[in-house]
Amino acid sequence: YQHGLFFFDLQLPPSYPAVPPQVYYRSFGLRLNPNLYPSGTVCLSLLNTFGGEGTEVWSPGTSSILQVVVSLQALVLNGQPYYNEAGHETLVDTPEGRRNALPYSENAFLLTLRTALHLLRQPPRGFEGFVADHFRQRGRHVLMACDAYLRGCIHADEGAMELPCSTGFRIALANLVPRLVAAFTNMGTQG
């Protein structure tokens, strides 16, 4: 999800804080994470949209909006989205988990780029300037990451560390990069 921009609408129902806020993810019909549905549903125990117990679920006396936002950032938009799939948490650090996590993460990166293109074409009303500023400042970093993956998956932000990636990922990425370059060039991205 590096350098991506994601929009969530939070609405406080009349019975808040007895019930959790309602959260809608602006997905553009893409499912870039197991917890974020194409319909915009955010699947999270804290929101009572997924099973959970104890501190995982909304508690009127102790849960907060900050807890929801931190959960979205740390638990949902994390570096290993494969393990967010129900039942996959048992596969952490197993050969099967590692084998399946890579294509899942590759797909999440591609969908993050597609989300960026959607946001540039259709920014949420009132956030047009924010979206433009974000990609003017971060567009160069997005393209540097793409270039690093295309050159053999040497991650630009972490020095010269080789990371595995699939041929299919590189092909899909190579098809997206010209659209990103055009979109960033049209908006005056720095660098």
In whole angstroms, what is the distance from residue 62 CA to residue 74 CA?
A: 19
Percent of the chain with pLDDT over 70: 93
pLDDT tens profile 144-174: 999 988 887 654 455 555 667 888 999 999 9
Structure tokens at 122: 């259709």
In whole angstroms, what is the distance from residue 3 CA to residue 19 CA?
A: 32
Measured CA to CA in angstroms, residue 157 lies from 89, 143, 146, 153, 177 at distances of: 27, 12, 11, 11, 18
Which residues participate in catalysis according to the annotation?
43
For the question of whether the overall pTM of this predicted structure is more than 0.85, the answer is yes
> Around Cβ 6, how many Cβ atoms within 10 Å?
19
pLDDT tens profile 100-141: 998 999 999 999 999 999 999 999 999 999 999 999 999 999
